[in-house]
Amino acid sequence: MLMKYRLFTPGPTSVPEATLLELAKPVRHHRTGEFRSMFKEVQTLLQYVYQTTSTVYTITGSGTAAAEAGIINTIAPGQKVLNVSNGKFAERWAQVCKTYGIDVKELKLEYGQHATADQIAQELKSTHYDAVILVHSETSTATTCDLEAIGKAVRASGDTLLIVDGITSIGAMPFKMDQWGVDVAITGSQKALMLPPGLAFVALSDRAWAAVEKNKARQDFYLDLKKYKKSLVDGDTPYTPANTLIEALRVSLKMVKEETIETVWKRTHTVAESFRQGMKALGFELFSNQPADSVSAIRYPQGIVDKEFRGLLKSKHNIHIAGGQGTMEGQIFRVNHMGYTDAYDALAVVAAIEHVMKALGKPIQFGAGVAAAQQTLSVLF
């Protein structure tokens, strides 16, 4: 029986029809004035989304490529980094540091917990770090943190750089690169930017560029940001870019600009909050003590088997959500709210979860979660 495919993983996320149509257009060459002028417009739009006057560089690759570029270009082997580690992605950035001989100290937190500005200020008081690496929205645990306060604390400490993984925050949650003192800001195309996977982005503050210039210890090639900076003088990328994705990105980012970034933040927040209220009304618990608006992580109640729950959602409802990663597997499920997602998308997932819980023999009242979600959504109408 026809049941439309509904994608609610925290990346890839749904792509707007207008963007898909752009992707269906014939391929053009990228070493042309047309490409450069289009690419320039994309950069301006990216600066708007990042809330920065710094250049946002486009890397053809995944978010990991952009994060690696952001870290290894600014931090030399042997330099000292504080990595706030509260999830699978934070752990990955520690691995990147170790791979390159960067001296990484991990500020370990339980999964689902977040670091406060005070904790970070304390760490920076006791030791000098060349950089703090922080995940603004930890996708694996659906946890955010007070980036504005942390940014203030890091700047107050002196010359320590603040490197932020904004992969599931930029374009979804309030993020103000310049105002909040972020030195390196990273994101990917398949999250809030409403594009398929394939592009990643990194912007560096002047302080970060100064660090890049001083970093002579190691030469990289594909991820050498100096090459990106140099090529951009002529409006180009150093290597063949995924140019049809960039053309499509323009369409998605123009939609963001038209909706305004503040409205996108508000929508994402309202949709996320309605989902959380729906889940709470059904007796579920959030996994995080500081839930991100981009993605929700919900604890499975006793007796609910992840594979069965998500299996039913997929097989009976054609709704694709994510499970937990690593040790969180089987403990939580995760639902996206970023990007091309609206109020009725959120309601569909809540209603489907009611059906699945009922099918699993749980005493669910149809509409109970939906009603709570509607209550939250009603501020929109």
Nearer to a second copy, 1 or 233 (CB): 1
Strands (E), the chain: 6-7, 56-60, 80-85, 103-108, 131-135, 137-138, 143-144, 161-165, 184-188, 199-204, 285-286, 295-299, 319-320, 322-323, 332-336
Nearer to a second copy among residue 3 and residue 156 (C-beta): 3
Q: Does 227 bind a second copy (CB under 8 A)?
A: no
How many Å apart are CA 189 and CA 13, to the nearest integer? 10
Give me the residue label for tokens 């210890």: 217
In whole angstroms, the minimum distance from the beta carbon of 268 to a second copy comes to: 10
Distances (CA, A) of 289 to 95, 110, 116, 263: 25, 10, 12, 25
Between 320 and 355, whose beta carbon lies closer to a second copy?
A: 355
CB of 297 vs a second copy, minimal distance in Å: 23
Asked if 311 interacts with a second copy (CB under 8 A), we say no
Show the site string, 230-259: x = touches a second copy by CB under 8 A, - = not.
-------------------------x---x
How far apart, in Å, are the Cα atoms of 55 and each of 45, 213, 246, 268, 273?
A: 11, 16, 16, 26, 33
* Angle at which helices 206-214 and 225-232 cross, to 10°: 120
**Contact between 368 and a second copy (CB under 8 A)?**
yes
CB of residue 230 to a second copy, shortest distance in Å: 37
Identify which range of 160-168, 218-226, 320-328, 346-354 contacts a second copy by CB under 8 A. Answer: 346-354
Q: How far is the CB of 365 from a second copy (least distance, A)?
A: 7
Count residues near a second copy (CB under 8 A): 43
Q: How far is CA 212 from the centre of its chain?
A: 24
C-alpha 186: how far from its chain's center? 8
Q: Which is nearer to a second copy, 293 or 354 (by Cβ)?
A: 354
| Distance in Å, CB of 333 to a second copy, minimum | 18
CB 48 within 8 A of CB 263: no
Q: Is 188 exposed, middle or buried (0-12, 13-18, 19+ CB in 10 A)?
A: buried
Among 152, 316, 320, 362, binds a second copy (CB under 8 A): 316
Contacting a second copy within 11-70 (CB under 8 A):
21, 24
Residues that bind a second copy in the complex, under the rule CB under 8 A:
1-4, 6, 21, 24, 255, 259, 263-264, 266-267, 312, 316-317, 340, 342-345, 347-348, 351-352, 354-356, 358-359, 365-368, 370-372, 374-375, 377-378, 380-381
